[in-house]
Amino acid sequence: MSRLSSPSYSFWLALAAATLPTAPAAAVPGKDRGVEVRYDDLDLSSPAGRSKLEKRIRNAAQGLCSFRGLPPAREVEKTSACMKQTVARTMQRIELAAADQRAAEGMGDAGAAAQLIEVSR
């Protein structure tokens, strides 16, 4: 019996095939739902406040934009593109939120409710 047709070789080959990721991104349960990021403790009218919020958004996006299971070069490419798009899209929404915050403060309404933004891919 040749080595390639032996039962143990077939078993290990089948096992290896069964453990390969079936989806290109090896999806993580709940990953596409998004992550809420708080910013009620930040002053979005200041560069420091916006910078801190962008860092929080990048951290959230990093968890959402993982493409493990792809070849390394492709993983880096897809992760980088996802991060750029996710952060840019969320920061656009933040600019609107900052404008809303300035308008509320201008009307004497500091707003006691927690301020959250959802970061999603």
> Tens of pLDDT along 55-113?
999 999 988 998 888 899 999 999 999 999 999 999 888 888 777 767 777 776 555 45
Total-model pTM: 0.60
Dihedral pair phi/psi, residue 2, rounded to 5°: -75, 155
State residue 57's pLDDT score: 93
State residue 46's pLDDT score: 87
How does residue 18 score in pLDDT terms, banded at 50, 70 and 90? very low
Q: Which two tokens stand for residue 96?
A: 């609107």
The residue length of the chain stands at 121
State residue 100's pLDDT score: 75
Q: By CB neighbour count within 10 A (0-12 exposed, 13-18 middle, 19+ buried), where does 60 fall?
A: buried
Whether 116 shows a pLDDT value over 60: the answer reads yes
State residue 84's pLDDT score: 94
Q: How far apart are CA 107 and CA 44, in angstroms?
A: 17
Whether 29 shows a pLDDT value over 50: the answer reads no
Contact 49, 42 (CB under 8 A): yes
More confident: 20 or 106: 106
Q: By CB neighbour count within 10 A (0-12 exposed, 13-18 middle, 19+ buried), where does 20 fall?
A: exposed
